[in-house]
Amino acid sequence: MAGITSIDVKESLNDLTEQLRQAKTSTPKERFQVLYGLKQENAPSISAIAKAVGKHRNTVQT
């Protein structure tokens, strides 16, 4: 099914939130935002996450 990912995020939402707060530059912040989005109970699609961080869907998927 399109937009579904099989990525298993091992960090908890609390860990990701704390790491997102501590990130100093934009690249780590974007990565933590993507992981946070994937970890949510009702995770949005890859396309929605990519749009939120301002990257192309293929970039986020990779």
Dihedral angle, C-alpha 28, 33, 39, 43, nearest 10 °: -150
* pLDDT tier at 4, thresholds 50, 70, 90: low
**Domain boundaries, given as residue ranges, for the chain:** 24-61
pLDDT at 1 over 50: no
Query: Averaged over 44-51, what is the pLDDT?
Result: 90
Q: Report CA Rg, the chain.
A: 11
Query: Averaged over 36-44, what is the pLDDT?
Result: 86
- In the chain, the percentage of residues whose pLDDT exceeds 70 is 90
10 vs 3: CA distance, rounded Å: 20
pTM of the predicted model, to two decimals? Answer: 0.79
- In the chain, the percentage of residues whose pLDDT exceeds 90 is 48
